[in-house]
Structure 1
Amino acid sequence: MNWDDIGEALWGGLPYYGEILGLVGNSLWAGAILGLVGGLIGIFVMQRDMAFAVHGISELSFAGAAAALLIGADVVTGSIIGSVVAAAIIGLLGSKARDRNSIIGVLMPFGLGLGILFLSLYNGRSATRFSLLTGQIVSVDQGQVVWLSAIGLVVLAGLVLIWRPLRFDSLDPQSAAARGVPTTAVSLVFMLLLGLIVAVSVHIIGALLVMALVVTPAAAAMRVATGPILVPMLAAGFGVVSAVGGILLAVAGTLPVSPYITTVSFLIYLVCRIIGRPAERRARIKGNSREIVGAAA
């Protein structure tokens, strides 16, 4: 095969790619919104050291979606119910990090076990069951994208309303409480918003890999930037690129959407980690120098 044959094969597939792409327009819009909101809320997930909580919520979200699939109800609704219940339990009972980790460690296997039980009782298509774990592309119809977009906008609006007290509570909870910030209420609202975005992310990327849209973009942004404006902008941008880029790549392949989204997200994080390493080293050296000067004084 010469280069002309290769070029013809590549360009000849473009019309078919365009036709397939037309089938996933709804998913592209949903993925863009989820990537945007997931990147923004992920900043506070990282600041509050709650990456483990995202996985715990996704397990009960998976159980709720599997239960809805079993009884013939809307999968997104079941996923939202499971996520909100998990988020409320963690927010109310897990005020301390040690308690929160214990609660999450209990909820995760329980939710996963329930989900597997419901899927084993489901007699429908095996691909439908598998999609709850790995995500799905063409199944997002016009009505669902409206719901997904609406939920994403609700989470975004909620974040904007509590942004300042949430940021204060995330960076210095003791000082926030002393200044009169209602830390318990702020934490509970944040957990409910997190539960909503996890629920809708499960429908796109699957229950097992939801952290690729909620945690990884924010972790990447915090590696290369600082400040209350630049970090959220980068995190949101990384989330959109991961979601939309993963869906575009998945359309051209035969694998589920989740491996593509997680790979794009991981590569962004890897590049940011490499870029941010010199700055991190300089900050460490600067900090050590200050300690030496302080000790000498």
Structure 2
Amino acid sequence: MTFDILDYGFIRRALVGCFALSLSAPPLGVFLMLRRMSLAGDALSHGLLPGVAVAFALCGLYVPALALGGLLAGLVVALGAGALARGTGGREDSTLAALYLTALAAGVVIISWRGSAVELTQLLFGSVLGVDDWALVLMAGAASLTLLFLALAWRPMVLECFDPAFARAVGLRGSLWHLGFLALVVVNLVAGLQAVGSLMAVGLMMLPAIAARHWARGIGGVVAVSVGLAMLASVTGLAVSAVMDVPSGPAIVLAAAALWLLSALLGPVDGVVARLRPRRHLSG
């Protein structure tokens, strides 16, 4: 049954788009995890909603308008949190939480006022039917931009994650890389809007990244495994979505969650089974 659904063009488009996102979003999730910013991705995904809602109220389900609105709103939340934290002396995470809660409530109100329940569900949780040519171009563009950034910024970002003091000592402009990194997180969340929805987009970014740490120790290995797990979750989730007629976003995220649970249980690196297995001691 899984292979029969590939006869449908909208499934193939959604699958290609999710594969593109799987190449770029999980590596960003790995760096969010290393920076102890895992929940920041969730906050940013909620922060997209007001911009998406305003674009929807003005233009309907027109992908370029939705993408532009979501991008602007996400950047305002991401950059505004840092600016408010510096201006008030507060913590960036608390400011981000306040902004995203406000943004989420405002976005849901606007969409509910303008659209139907079906359209609200599609924007929040995604739909394979919504992955058209514009959405594919957006996903491919986000993946290409992210991979180019990671190719240029890999070493400084890894250095800042593991030894920020040395990075500052050698004159590494960590704030610039950080802002570029957050901007790409927003871009990838916007790109995943059509396939997985604004509330579920962060799931494809974070769950494979969290699961991958149970299969590899080096950062390169974790990134590679996270991409593979995201692709597997995309295939499984889209198949379930098409066969059972459920929103594609939750189906993909649940598939990624199942892979995370299996990884946490059976993974060789800090998995439950591996930790219960007796360790060999050195004998003299």
Quick check: TM above 0.5? yes
Aligned 1:84-163 pairs, distance under 5 A = 84-90=75-81, 92=83, 99-122=91-114, 124-163=115-154
User: Cα RMSD between the aligned structures?
Assistant: 2.5
1:29 matched to 2:16? The reply is yes
Structure 1 residues 18 and 163: CA distance shift in structure 2, 3 A = closer
Cα distance in structure 2, aligned partners of 1:259 and 1:171: 33
Cα distance in structure 2, aligned partners of 1:186 and 1:218: 20
Q: In structure 2, what is the equivalent of residue 49 of structure 1?
A: 36
Aligned 1:163-178 pairs, distance under 5 A = 163-178=154-169
Shift of 1:221: 0.6
Query: In the alignment, is the contact (CA less than 8 A) between 2:156 and 2:172 conserved in 1?
Result: yes
Cα distance in structure 2, aligned partners of 1:173 and 1:148: 32
Query: In the alignment, is the contact (CA less than 8 A) between 1:61 and 1:199 conserved in 2?
Result: yes
Cα distance in structure 2, aligned partners of 1:92 and 1:157: 27
Structure 1 residues 94 and 30: CA distance shift in structure 2, 3 A = farther
Query: In the alignment, is the contact (CA less than 8 A) between 1:62 and 1:202 conserved in 2?
Result: no
Letter in 2 for 1:41: L
SS at match of 1:138: helix
Structure 1 residues 148 and 226: CA distance shift in structure 2, 3 A = same
Q: In structure 2, what is the equivalent of residue 269 of structure 1?
A: 260
Cα distance in structure 2, aligned partners of 1:190 and 1:239: 20
> Could you tell me the percent identity over the aligned residues?
24
Provide, for residues 51-99 of structure 1, a one-character-per-residue CA deviation record: whole Å limited to 9, x for no partner: 111111111212211110001162122122222222223455568xx71
SS at match of 1:180: coil
Cα distance in structure 2, aligned partners of 1:23 and 1:205: 14
Which protein shows a greater Rg? 1
Provide, for residues 170-214 of structure 1, a one-character-per-residue CA deviation record: whole Å limited to 9, x for no partner: 122222112221111111111111111111123321222223211
Provide, for residues 106-142 of structure 1, a one-character-per-residue CA deviation record: whole Å limited to 9, x for no partner: 11211112102211321x4431221111111111111
Cα distance in structure 1, aligned partners of 2:260 and 2:3: 30
Provide, for residues 8-62 of structure 1, a one-character-per-residue CA deviation record: whole Å limited to 9, x for no partner: xx7xx986x454x322222111111112211111110100011111111111212
Q: In structure 2, what is the equivalent of residue 7 of structure 1?
A: none
Q: In structure 2, what is the equivalent of residue 234 of structure 1?
A: 225
User: How many residues are matched?
Assistant: 270
TM, length-normalised to structure 1: 0.83
Structure 1: runs of 5 or more not aligned: 1-9, 290-297
Cα distance in structure 2, aligned partners of 1:61 and 1:52: 15
